[in-house]
Chains A and B, each alone.
Chain A
Amino acid sequence: MKFDTPATTNPIDQLKVVGKPTNRIEGPLKTTGTAPYAYEHQDFAATQAYGYVVGSAIAKGKIASMNLDEAKAAPGVLAIVTAANAGKLGKGDFNNATLLGGPGIEHYHQAVALVVAGSFEQARAAASLVRVEYTRDKGAYDLSATVGTAGKAPVLYGNQPDTAVGDFASAFAAAPVQLDARYSTPDHAHAMMEPHASIASWEGDKLTVWTSNQMIAWSAGDVAKTLGLPKENVRLLSPYVGGGFGGKLYVRADAILAALGAKATKRPVKVALQRPLMMNNTPHRPATIQRIRLGATPDGKLTAIGHESWSGDLNAAKPEGAVAQTRLLYAGANRMTAMRIAALDLAEGNDMRAPGEAPGMMALEVAMDEMAEKLGLDPVQFRILNDTQVDPEAPSRPFTQRQLNKCLQMGAEKFGWSKRGKPASTRDGKWLVGMGVAAAFRNNLNANSAARVRLSSAGIVTVETDMTDIGTGSYTIIAQTAAEMMGVPLDNVVVKLGDSSFPVSSGSGGQWGANSSTAGVYAACVKLREAAAQKLGLNPADAVFADGKVKVGRRSFALGDAAKDGELVAEDRIEFGKLAEEKQQSTFGAHFVEVGVDSATGEVRIRRMLAVCAAGRILNPKAARSQVIGGMTMGAGAALMEELAVDKRFGFFVNHDLAGYEVPVHADIPYQEVIFLDETDPNTSPMKAKGVGELGICGVAAAVANAVYNATGARVRSYPITLDKFIDKLPEMT
């Protein structure tokens, strides 16, 4: 099904099932421990062997020698895979560093060996007996040292490294009110609960991998490419994913090494990356240094908007697109953005929840707060004043929908924004209290997505698509979609996901999954409705699917009757046309945060958070709320504690476990509220929905930062905002 004109009325608009706050259909499996995650899959339990990964002890250089004798002689060891014996390996389209290092070493904890043994404990014990001698090369690990010398970034998702509209330099120079500030965001870890894990098994030259991955088709392709197999020989299964946040978009070492280990031992092999390896072995969100210049008239109209961002990556491959939102968020005639990238020899940087916008908004929305203060304007009003209903770089392109102002206004009212005092003026006992606001913004992306639907004589509808559910609720919204389309209760829908033998979906990433994958299911269901109606001798255009029945006038059949002579199967794909080029599709919101700062110690504790979101039709308010509060929690972490600490001498992230890399715990997040505006956007798909999973994180950290400023009067421009950065600016203790 082509989607190239805005949607009109369709069966989804009935909203009998879609749009209802529905519990996760796979929830009971997860809460009872019966949903098999990659490492827990039992098909091969009787024969499987265990792999343990050895990570490089240096960041850059070469393996001078490797002695495997002791490890090979250790109890239970079946095989040791290294680059020297693995045969020629390709590199996946989505990989930057190779997944098995040697002799060249590209980053710390790059896998250099997999020890396979009969038990996990044996493999782990033997792994420490692999003796590796390295020759170190000098590497570059310090992003701040590269500012000034870094080169232009490559084009990123269609974004040019340099953009310019009007004459920024002159307009900024002439602006009566100016802001020129630098911000920095650190490297972040995805830190998902489930580590990267795979079980691989060969049958002849056919490979099956149970893994934990967000993008099945991409990754099946990259496994095939890396191992030199035809794609059809690779089957990837990832029915349950214990969190990804972008860290599982691409194939990682666990999958490739499990496959190589299984080949070497002729047994199924399972591999999970050990937690202390994950931070340096797998990608992270790259640190940024950002410079923002804003010029405004005294009455608060922006006339010049400039945003530059520096980031680093292995081989200078991929920038963090922190300027992306600045091209679209506020009006202003003269604008420029620039992305620069340096080659760093840390592990590769890559996508993490709202890549680009998350760190970009951390800077931009603090700059807006600073500018509002310079102008003597309320930061809510300042944003409203600079709203735009069209793409500011191409005014003939309107936004399909943009209710940012309403989000801000409603949020301000619900949150009690009018009670916000001047900086460092509000106290509650020992606590300095402050409020902060930031806009939320993330583009809506769509990706072609296919599904197959089956109808049984019992009236059961089964959906098959390689879509993944990374804890987001895909199972549930897909079931809701099929139930709505086929007129059956939710219980009569079975959803099967995450199998590369199923039709290729959008996968989970870039907050495109919910709208795209359900639209694919919609398309397949339209075909199934036609087939069912025809089978029952009804005119498909007149047939009404409701209450488990198909009716035209007084003629009524049980839906299952259409499959009396055998299962009906339909498959289709939603293919997105050029609508997104004609009009800009984005999601909007406003974050409000209240913090208390201990006047003695500077400890920042969040007291309340509110998000108001405008993101098209909300397919399942319960799941969407979970997504947004998860994003808010992650944003709170980015604001206050998350930082991969770089050792600039040895070139690695030092705090590489969950004790050292702190993410928020319950005590950090006392109260959260989420409001969704009632929207439908016919431009996005027949579902009229957009993404929310990444909108929730965008802007949160800035709202926290602005609240800390309002509480203390101390502006911290380098994240995370830890007490050591402003303790000298706190009021004297008497």
Chain B
Amino acid sequence: MKSFTYERVDTPAAATAAFARTKGSRYIAGGTNLLDLMKLEIETPAHLIDISRLALDRIEPTSGGGLRIGAMVRNTDLASDERIRRDYGLVSRALVAGASGQLRNKATMGGNILQRTRCPYFYDTNQPCNKRQPGSGCAAIGGFNRILAVIGASDACIATQPSDVGVALRALDASVETVNVTGKTRVIPYADFYRAPGETPHIETALVPGELITAVTLPRPVGGTHVYHKVRDRASYAFALISVGLVVQRDGTGRVALGGVAYKPWRVEAAEADLPRGAKAVTAKLLAGAKTTHENAYKLPLVERTLAGVLAQAKG
């Protein structure tokens, strides 16, 4: 770990001002991802701005009938919130399928969607990795890539985004609210939040340097039955091989998003019209253009079967 300086801020404005002031700055919220990466020198910030005590820890109704989740709301608090459990069950279920109780107590809304890939080569600084060191190559392609992406990837990077709750946020049309160093706020649809790896897999999101996430908003509840199935080799405390987040209405219509298949939670709205026709039809459209490796080709049938399983479960 490189040495760094540290300060704690009280307001979003102070946070962005601190960022503008000090070169090599980085926000730290729960620290559950950032600190691990710093210990391995995958992240080497010169200055940490601790935003964990910002007053962005509330879940409030929006004027549009939805909910605004402050960026500092802890994963545990979000998962157990009554409104979330009642109206956005997918969010709650996806959250508790992730990490462990201790981690969820620390992890924040903003940090969660910014957590970095679990590609094993990304974690080993001896290995080439375009995401960690642009231009060095990708060790995962042609290597151990059983858990990596089957769609939307590039020849430069086949990493996946590992957030569970992100799958729910995508299915429920969430947005990300931010403020940047000039004080300007904006709203980024979560659908547009992640950037395809292309030639620049080290650039992962639409955020510009110093841009602070203040909240994630959910539109008004969509009703229906919410099912989240995270498929993994061990029963708990493991990242998804793939996951399926499903919201299905009584008439069989609904929405579906996938985790563990791409650089972002994967959703193809056009595929959802086929939900009443079953998993095969949906998956064909959802994963059209998939490109698999010898080791991760199982993900295609797995998605289809898991979707069939959750559709059956949703019917009860």
Chain A residues proximal to chain B, CB less than 8 Å: 57-58, 75, 121, 124-125, 128, 276, 430, 598-603, 605, 640-641, 645-647, 649-650, 654-657, 659-660, 662, 664-668, 720, 722-724, 727-728, 730, 733-734
* Cross-chain contact B143 with A722 (CB below 8 angstroms): no
- Give chain A nearest CB distance to B3 CB in angstroms: 6
* Cross-chain contact A647 with B232 (CB below 8 angstroms): no
Contacts beyond the supplied A655-B144, A724-B298: 12 A-B pairs with Cβ under 8 Å: A124-B39, A125-B1, A430-B313, A600-B308, A649-B143, A654-B124, A654-B144, A656-B120, A662-B233, A665-B237, A723-B302, A727-B298
* Cross-chain contact B308 with A665 (CB below 8 angstroms): no
Return chain B residues, CB-CB under 8 Å to A646: 144
Return chain B residues, CB-CB under 8 Å to A75: 3
Chain B residues proximal to chain A, CB less than 8 Å: 1-3, 39-41, 118, 120-121, 123-127, 139, 142-144, 146, 229, 231-239, 241, 279, 298, 301-302, 304-306, 308-310, 312-313
* Cross-chain contact B309 with A600 (CB below 8 angstroms): yes
Given contacts A57-B126, A727-B301, contact A128 B41 (CB under 8 A): yes
Return chain B residues, CB-CB under 8 Å to A655: 120, 144
CA of A44 to CA of B302, assembled, Å: 55
CA of A195 to CA of B35, assembled, Å: 20
Return chain A residues, CB-CB under 8 Å to B127: 650
* Closest residue on chain A to residue B305 by CB atoms: A600
Sample of 11 A–B contacts (CB below 8 Å): A121-B1, A125-B1, A125-B3, A276-B123, A430-B309, A600-B308, A602-B302, A650-B143, A662-B238, A668-B235, A733-B309
CA of A624 to CA of B222, assembled, Å: 55
CA of A655 to CA of B140, assembled, Å: 12
In-complex Cβ contact of B298 among A649, A664, A667, A723 (8 A): A723
- Give chain B nearest CB distance to A40 CB in angstroms: 20
CA of A730 to CA of B126, assembled, Å: 40
* Cross-chain contact A641 with B234 (CB below 8 angstroms): yes
CA of A640 to CA of B238, assembled, Å: 13
Return chain B residues, CB-CB under 8 Å to A727: 298, 301-302, 305
* Cross-chain contact B236 with A667 (CB below 8 angstroms): yes
- Give chain B nearest CB distance to A350 CB in angstroms: 23
Return chain B residues, CB-CB under 8 Å to A662: 233-234, 238
- Give chain A nearest CB distance to B97 CB in angstroms: 11
* Cross-chain contact B235 with A665 (CB below 8 angstroms): yes
* Closest residue on chain B to residue A58 by CB atoms: B126
Max chain B Cβ within 10 angstroms of own Cβ: one of A57, A124, A600: A600
Return chain A residues, CB-CB under 8 Å to B143: 647, 649-650, 654
* Cross-chain contact A659 with B139 (CB below 8 angstroms): no
CA of A391 to CA of B137, assembled, Å: 57
* Cross-chain contact B121 with A733 (CB below 8 angstroms): no
CA of A653 to CA of B142, assembled, Å: 15
In-complex Cβ contact of B144 among A125, A600, A645 (8 A): A645
* Closest residue on chain A to residue B279 by CB atoms: A733
Return chain B residues, CB-CB under 8 Å to A603: 231-233
- Give chain B nearest CB distance to A649 CB in angstroms: 7
Return chain B residues, CB-CB under 8 Å to A734: 308
* Cross-chain contact B235 with A667 (CB below 8 angstroms): yes
Return chain B residues, CB-CB under 8 Å to A600: 305-306, 308-310, 312
CA of A373 to CA of B186, assembled, Å: 66
CA of A25 to CA of B131, assembled, Å: 51
In-complex Cβ contact of B233 among A57, A641, A645, A656 (8 A): A641
* Cross-chain contact B1 with A730 (CB below 8 angstroms): no
Return chain B residues, CB-CB under 8 Å to A125: 1-3
* Cross-chain contact B1 with A124 (CB below 8 angstroms): yes
Return chain A residues, CB-CB under 8 Å to B233: 603, 640-641, 662, 720, 722-723
Given contacts A654-B124, A654-B143, A733-B305, contact A640 B234 (CB under 8 A): yes
* Cross-chain contact B298 with A654 (CB below 8 angstroms): no
